[in-house]
Structure 1
Amino acid sequence: MTIAATAIPLSGTQDGTLKYVSVGGLELEAGGFLPEVVLAYETWGRLNADASNAVLVEHALTGSTHVARGESDEEGWWEQLVGPGATIDTDRYFVVSVNIVGGCYGSTGPSSSAPDGKPWGSRFPLVTLRDSTIAEARLADALGIHSWHTVVGGSMGGARALEWAVSYPDRVKRCAVISIGAYSTAEQIAFAQAQTLAIRQDADFKGGDYYGQAAPEAGLALARRIAHITYRSADELDFRFGRNAQGGEAPLQAAALGDRGRYQVESYLDHQGRKLVQRFDANSYIAITEALMSHDITRGRGSLEDALSVATAKFFVASVDSDRLYFPEQSHELAKALPGEVPVHVIEAPIGHDGFLTEIGQLGPQLREAFFG
């Protein structure tokens, strides 16, 4: 059944500003139902006459739609890759970025109003990456985009890009999958579970129905600390912080456990936790984390080779050499199972997984040659 997507008027529709579209009700893979889904998105550039220049950029776990600068001077998270004259040149391509279903940057999520007018909260259903892809396909319909020139993403964004290429093979001509494998491993699920449990065990979580009250900030900050350890490499943490004390407070000079000073790395993780609390919703963190836990391109599709055999896109696969969350071996497994010969490009970065953000410029020449020449 085809469901028409309806644009919601919004003042200010320039590059890099939020827009909204209603994509109707969404039957969910896990059995739930969302009666109306609104997607928030941003665009850059202009769609050409035959809609052949559209590029979808998928954000990572806590990322937003703001990939690059637009009418405002607010810096985007992939400025090295997207913008006028960049590898994905917004003077040539029409770039779209969509906030995932379950998010808190404008798309329908746990903090959105349910039909009864109250926030969804604990009632928000389990949404998988496949569900989100279906919603995004309806957005593409509303924009008049029948197939994407390229779908690209890193980390969870890469998983979303891969799901697009397999779910809608006739709508994806090129697909770039960066710093992610074909599925979430048991270890990755374990790290994710520790993060969601940190939030759920916060006394202010209240089963997910905390809106209008104190938010579970301590739990969300702890979840971010756990995640951030996996985003950075051991070498990077050692190089930046070592065993150094914070502010001259000697950690081993204390008569009681609660009186000791702190290590610099502890202060760093505290800072990362505080930053996320200021911009993200705890329920959305759980919803999106569980969507990433669901990532498995083979689910219901047979072997990995069978699942990928339907894809007709040209693929670009890349990994970060120091990544200890999504190991480079997972990118090699994916590339080997894809149709044809697909090389694995490498981001050389001692930082770890976050290299897909900070060092994405390294892939510029290869991506330009492969997809955007």
Structure 2
Amino acid sequence: MPLDSGATIGPFTLAYQTYGTLNADRSNAILVCHALTGDQFVCEPHPVTGKPGWWSMLIGPGLPIDTDRYFIICANVLGGCMGTTGPAETDPETGRPFGLTFPVITIGDMVRAQMLLVDHLGIDQLFCVIGGSMGGMQVLQLASAYPDRVFAALPIATAARHSAQNIAFHEVGRQAIMADPDWHGGDYAARDIRPTRGLSVARMAAHITYLSETALHRKFGRNLQDRQRLGFSFDADFQVESYLRHQGMTFVDRFDANSYLYITRAMDYFDLAAEHGGVLADAFRPGGKPTPVRFCLVSFTSDWLFPTAESRAIVHGLNTVAANVSFVEIASDKGHDAFLLDEPEFHRVMRGFLEGLAEHRGLGQRLVASR
């Protein structure tokens, strides 16, 4: 497969999970795209951590993404570390892990790989493609690059380009990894070690950006951790410190440090308008005509990582070409992570959008009810 960098990759493996049943005319397939640290285990217990799938409250029988009606596909992105070919996998030419010899990838490359999977499954047009954060970037890229193969798109808490602030946060995380003496220029796998300290710090820094100040204060405030008074040391005096350290330590058990470098870089490179002469509207004007894709964009009021203004810019671009688009800003104090949490209004919006599309496409009856 050709890559945006000019390199090629292949053969390569794409690890994926499916849920539900593909109907006779293959018209009920929904592609779910995961965020930076997500994977293909979207609604089942994770094989490494044992925790519920990251969207288990949204995907399943009778849930907004109803597995009794839709056929759900979720793939680990190219460059990932849960079975899809990435820097931790073995290079067949050398017999060693790729490490930093793995080619640099983009959101476009991730999408191109997933569309090869869609082809493999014999699906001509996806009923909908859905994703939040980096998953939302994939949704936008896919809807722009393959407008005739997507009936509808639901980008959530995302942007048409990565901001300078977000690139800066990612660089802090990458530098933390590369400063770890166990990183060894990305060749740590050959030494049977891992830069766990650097990756843990990268996760801690990133996790702060996923939350809002209100959410942090409500959950932790300035409460002390297992003590009645300040310890006057550099142990975890405060509950929020203990929480972040726990997030960092558990993350290293399921994620590869080099994958983190590659995937954050792919997000940094994402700029949909730049691919179309700097005009975002042109990304949604294939052949000079308005995109046929039906869009619903969702943002959250307290998301400062991908603020509502970023979603509005996409909506304006779609409005410019008279595309079919709706937009909802959800009032929430949970920050960027709101799309992964129990947010009833968001769940209602998703259910309503999908049910309206299903009725339009004749998917009004749940498959389980017709059997």
TM-score w.r.t. the length of structure 2 is 0.88
Aligned-partner SS, 1:246: coil
The structural deviation recorded for 1:243 is 2.0
SS in 1 for 2:304: coil
Matched, 1:98 2:107: no
Structure-2 residue corresponding to 1:112: 89
CA distance in 2, matches of 1:150, 1:265: 38
Output the amino acid matched with 2:247: Q
For 2:41 and 2:215, the matched residues in 1 are separated by 27
- Contact residue 347 and residue 359 of structure 1 kept, 8 A: no
Residues 249, 262 of structure 1: 8 Å contact kept: no
Q: Does the CA-based 8 Å contact 1:81-1:361 persist in structure 2?
A: no
**175, 187, 195: which is aligned to 1:209?**
187
1:334 aligns to what SS in structure 2?
helix
SS in 2 for 1:353: helix
| Residue 344 of structure 1 pairs with residue 316 of structure 2 | no
Deviation at 1:261, TM superposition (A): 5.7
Task: Tell me if 1:194 matches 2:177.
Answer: no
Confirm or deny that 1:305 pairs with 2:284. Answer: no
Deviation at 1:361, TM superposition (A): 4.3
2:304 aligned partner: 324
248 and 88 in structure 1: CA distance in 2 versus 1, 3 angstrom threshold = same
Alignment of 1:1-373 (within 5 A): 26-69=1-44, 75-115=52-92, 116-211=94-189, 212-248=191-227, 250-251=229-230, 254=232, 258=233, 262-302=237-277, 303-310=279-286, 311-338=291-318, 339-340=322-323, 342-373=325-356
C-alpha deviation, 1:342, in angstroms? 2.9
Q: CA deviation at 1:259?
A: 5.3
The match for 2:360 is none
Deviation at 1:143, TM superposition (A): 0.2
Higher helix share: 2
Q: What is the letter of the counterpart of residue 96 of structure 1?
A: I
Change (3 A) 1:353 1:71: closer
* Shift in Å, 1:193: 1.0
Contact 1:81 1:360 in 2 (8 A): no
* Cα 1:170–1:260 shift into 2, 3 Å: closer
- Asked whether the equivalents of residues 88 and 372 of structure 1 are also in contact (C-alpha less than 8 Å), the reply is no
Q: Amino acid of the residue matched to residue 245 of structure 1?
A: L
Q: 1:326 to 1:261 in 2, by over 3 A?
A: closer
Cα gap change, 1:126/1:232 in structure 2, threshold over 3 Å: closer, same or farther? same
1:11 is aligned to none
**How many angstroms does 1:316 deviate by?**
0.6
1:345 aligns to what SS in structure 2? Answer: strand
Query: In structure 2, what is the Cα distance between the partners aligned to 1:240 and 1:222?
Result: 21
Instruction: Please list every run of 5 or more consecutive structure 2 residues that lacks an aligned counterpart in the other structure.
Output: 357-371
Identical aligned residues as a percent: 42
Distance across 1 between alignment mates of 2:235 and 2:140: 47
Equivalents in 1 of 2:236, 2:61: separation in Å? 48
Deviations 1:94-116 (A, max 9, x none): 11001000000110000111122
Give the drift of 1:347: 2.8
Note closer, same or farther for the CA distance 1:249–1:118 as it changes in structure 2 (3 Å cut).
farther
Amino acid at match of 1:145: I
d(CA) in 2 for partners of 1:259, 1:363: 40
Deviations, residues 65-111 of structure 1 (Å, cap 9, x unaligned): 11113899962211222111111211111110010000001100001
Matched to 1:88, the amino acid is I
Note if contact 2:339-2:346 (Cα within 8 Å) is conserved in structure 1.
Answer: no
Q: Is the 8 A contact 1:45 1:90 kept in 2?
A: yes
Q: How far off its partner does 1:340 sit?
A: 3.3
Gap change, CA 1:117 and 1:144, over 3 Å in 2: same
State the number of aligned residues. Answer: 344
Contact 1:42–1:66 at 8 Å: present in 2 too?
yes
Supply the AA of the counterpart residue of 1:81: L
Mark the CA change 1:97 to 1:148 in structure 2 (over 3 Å): closer, same or farther.
same
Structure 2: how far apart are the matches of 1:38 and 1:74?
25
Shift in CA distance, 246/91, structure 1 to aligned 2, threshold 3 Å: same
Report the RMSD for the aligned CA atoms in angstroms.
1.9
Contact in 1 for aligned 2:210/2:337 (Cα 8 Å): yes
Uncovered stretches (5+) of structure 1, i.e. residues with no partner:
1-25
